[in-house]
């Protein structure tokens, strides 16, 4: 298939100038392939396995590769964008609003995509199963189709990823992750507030909220879509000493929408 071949070639070209860390042999397809060292980790695959993978769960990843071709962030995003199965095919036209707020959110999302200028932000809040992540990933995919780079990631996964860089021998660095966050055309930060922040003596642990503060500082004046179960005041409380400053950056040049209606998961 044309699209699959294209994505394989694109990735090969993207990785062409990176360091070869070794070679591996695929017995199934009798093919030796290079292992490439990227800041996102060591990657490599036999060309037939790659194509077979795309046919299955890597289809969404192949789309990322095709859509954001040439961008240095692409291998990183491909490795670090985890979309749950129930959202793999999410699109705005499969989002069926069940009430007025959901209707508004859908309109706002379409408008956001049409008017995308890399500067405005969007905050989608509301209870579980209202379609926040559905709308978030749909926006990321649409923006990528327009040729921009976008990263859909849970705030908790950013923290986990940064934590992993503190381990000995990590090829990935905190600076590199922050550079991606700073330079990506659109950051979709899913489930803001769901990350665990350890409370200590009336205040809360500062590491996680310091990192999130840095994220919002780097994204100031850059397009960020956030989804959250929390209200603004609950977020402010959660991030304690960084709360007010995080909220101020979060709300800068941002439209907000709170989704009501039903929990879609309970209707199926």
**Interface positions with Mg ion (CB under 5 A):** 132-133
Supply the minimum distance, in Å, between the C-beta of residue 234 and ligand ATP: 14
Q: Find the part of the chain contacting ligand ATP (CB under 6 A) among 3-11, 12-20, 26-34, 130-138.
A: 130-138
- Work out which of 12, 19, 29, 55 binds Zn ion, going by CB under 5 A: 29
The per-residue DSSP string of the chain comes to -HHHHHHHHHHHHHHTTSEEEEEEEETTTTEEEEEEEETTEEE---HHHHHHHHHTTTHHHHHHHHHTTT-TTHHHHHHH----GGGTT--GGG----SHHHHHHHHHHHHHHHT--SS-EEEEEESTTSSHHHHHHHHHHHHHHTT--EEEEEHHHHHHHHHHHTSTT-SS-HHHHHHHHHH-SEEEEEEET-S---EETTEE-HHHHHHHHHHHHHTTTS-EEEEESS-HHHHHHHTHHHHHHHHHHHTTTEEEEEE-S--GGGG-
Structure-block tokens of residue 130: 């209202």
- Work out which of 4, 132, 154, 226 binds ligand ATP, going by CB under 6 A: 132
264 in contact with ligand ATP (CB under 6 A): yes
Contact 108, 259 (CB under 8 A): no
95 in contact with ligand ATP (CB under 6 A): yes
Rounded CA-CA distance 21/36 in Å is 5
134 in contact with ligand ATP (CB under 6 A): yes
Q: Find the part of the chain contacting Zn ion (CB under 5 A) among 22-30, 144-152, 209-217, 247-255.
A: 22-30
Q: Find the part of the chain contacting ligand ATP (CB under 6 A) among 14-22, 56-64, 70-78, 131-139.
A: 131-139
256 in contact with ligand ATP (CB under 6 A): no
- The order of strands in the sheet holding 186-192 is 150-154, 186-192, 224-228, 121-126, 254-259
232 — phi, psi (to 5°)?
-60, -40
154 in contact with ligand ATP (CB under 6 A): no
* Closer residue to ligand ATP, CB minimum distance, 33 or 264: 264
What is the CA angle 69-71-193, rounded to 5? 110
Residue 29 contact partner, candidates ligand ATP, Mg ion, Zn ion, none, CB within 5 to 8 A by sort of partner:
Zn ion
Supply the minimum distance, in Å, between the C-beta of residue 268 and ligand ATP: 7
229 in contact with ligand ATP (CB under 6 A): yes
130 in contact with ligand ATP (CB under 6 A): yes
101 in contact with ligand ATP (CB under 6 A): no
Supply the minimum distance, in Å, between the C-beta of residue 145 and Zn ion: 30
Q: Find the part of the chain contacting ligand ATP (CB under 6 A) among 55-63, 97-105, 139-147, 154-162.
A: 97-105
- Work out which of 35, 49, 87, 197 binds Zn ion, going by CB under 5 A: 49
Residue 102 contact partner, candidates Mg ion, Zn ion, ligand ATP, none, CB within 5 to 8 A by sort of partner:
ligand ATP
**Footprint on this chain of ligand ATP (rule: CB under 6 A):** 86-87, 90, 94-98, 102, 128-134, 191, 227, 229, 264-265
């Amino acid at each position: 298939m044309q699209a699959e071949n294209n994505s394989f070639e694109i990735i090969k070209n993207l990785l062409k100038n990176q360091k070869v860390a070794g070679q591996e042999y695929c017995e199934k397809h009798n093919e030796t392939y290079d292992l490439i060292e990227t800041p996102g980790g060591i990657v490599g695959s036999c060309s037939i396995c790659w194509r077979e993978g795309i046919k299955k769960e890597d289809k969404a990843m192949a789309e990322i590769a095709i859509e954001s071709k040439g961008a240095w962030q692409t291998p990183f995003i491909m490795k670090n964008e985890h979309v749950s199965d129930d959202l793999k095919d999410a699109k705005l036209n499969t989002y069926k609003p069940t009430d007025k707020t959901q209707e508004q959110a859908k309109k706002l999302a379409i408008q956001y995509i049409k008017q995308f200028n890399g500067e405005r932000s969007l905050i989608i809040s509301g209870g579980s199963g209202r379609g926040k992540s559905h709308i978030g990933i749909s926006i990321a995919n649409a923006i990528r189709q327009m040729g921009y780079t976008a990263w859909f990631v849970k705030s908790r996964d950013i923290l986990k990823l940064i934590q992993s860089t503190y381990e000995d021998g990590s090829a990935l660095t905190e600076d590199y992750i922050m550079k991606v966050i700073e330079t990506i055309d659109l950051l979709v930060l899913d489930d803001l507030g769901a990350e665990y922040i350890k409370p200590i003596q009336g205040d809360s642990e500062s590491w996680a909220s310091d990192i999130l503060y840095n994220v919002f500082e780097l994204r100031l004046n850059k397009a960020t879509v956030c989804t959250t179960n929390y209200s603004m005041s609950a977020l402010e409380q959660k991030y304690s000493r960084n709360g007010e400053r995080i909220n101020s950056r979060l709300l800068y040049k941002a439209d907000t929408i709170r989704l009501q209606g039903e929990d879609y998961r309970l209707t199926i």
